[in-house]
C-alpha cells in the first residue's frame, strides 16, 4: 500500500494488519475477536487498569463505533464524494456509549452485525474504488487503507487488553 493512502498516525494500525486480504480477513478477524472477548473472565469486563481508562466493554464498543464510522467514510470515498469528512471524539463516544450497562452478549451481537456490514460493503468495492482517496479528519485516506485500519485498530486494542487488563 502506498504511504499517500493514509496519514502517518495510522501507520501502526496498517502495520498490524500486514495488508491482510480483505474481505476474507474481515471474516477471520471477526471470529477471533468474538472468541477473544467471550474468553475474558466476567469479573474483568468492567475492569479499568487505571483511573480514567476504558473498561474492556468500553473498548469493544469503541471498536464497534469506530468501525461504523470507518464504514461510512469508506462508502463516501468509494462513491467519489469529495466532501471532507469530519473527525469524532472517541472519548465522548465511550462516555455516551454506556457500555457498562450492557451485557457482553449484546455487545458481541452488535459487533458481529457491524462486521457483517463491513464484509458486505468491502465485497462490493472494485479495485478502482479501493484506491480512491478522500479526506477524513483533515487527512487523505483511501478506501483500501480504511479497511486495513479497521483490522489493525482491532488488533491494537486486543493487544492492549492482553498487556494491561488480563
Count of domains in the chain? 1
Question: What was the pLDDT predicted at 151?
Answer: 94
C-alpha cell at 74: 469508506
Range of the domain at 117: 3-164
Question: What was the pLDDT predicted at 16?
Answer: 87
Question: What was the pLDDT predicted at 1?
Answer: 81
Q: Strand, coil or helix: what is 131?
A: coil
Question: What was the pLDDT predicted at 24?
Answer: 74
Give me the half-sphere count of Cα atoms (radius 13 Å) on the Cβ side of residue 26.
23
10-residue mean pLDDT profile of the chain (166 residues): values are 91 82 80 97 95 96 98 98 94 92 98 97 96 97 96 95 96
Question: What was the pLDDT predicted at 152?
Answer: 94
Question: What was the pLDDT predicted at 19?
Answer: 62
Q: Which backbone phi and psi does 118 adopt, to 5 degrees?
A: -65, -45
Specify the CATH number for the domain of residue 79. Answer: 1.20.120.450
Amino acid at each position: 500500500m502506498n504511504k499517500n493512502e493514509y496519514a502517518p498516525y495510522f501507520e501502526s494500525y496498517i502495520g498490524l494488519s500486514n495488508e491482510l486480504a480483505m474481505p476474507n480477513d474481515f471474516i477471520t478477524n471477526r471470529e477471533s475477536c468474538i472468541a477473544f472477548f467471550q474468553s475474558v473472565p466476567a469479573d474483568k469486563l468492567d475492569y479499568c487498569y487505571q483511573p480514567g481508562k476504558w473498561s474492556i466493554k468500553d473498548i469493544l464498543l469503541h471498536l464497534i463505533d469506530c468501525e461504523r464510522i470507518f464504514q461510512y467514510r469508506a462508502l463516501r470515498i468509494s462513491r467519489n464524494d469529495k466532501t471532507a469528512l469530519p473527525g469524532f471524539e472517541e472519548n465522548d463516544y465511550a462516555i455516551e456509549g454506556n457500555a457498562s450497562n450492557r451485557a457482553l452478549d449484546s455487545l458481541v451481537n452488535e459487533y458481529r452485525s457491524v462486521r457483517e456490514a463491513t464484509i458486505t460493503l468491502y465485497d462490493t468495492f472494485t479495485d478502482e474504488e479501493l484506491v480512491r482517496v478522500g479526506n477524513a479528519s483533515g487527512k487523505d485516506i483511501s478506501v483500501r487503507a480504511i479497511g486495513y485500519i479497521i483490522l489493525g485498530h482491532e488488533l491494537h486494542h486486543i493487544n492492549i487488553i492482553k498487556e494491561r487488563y488480563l
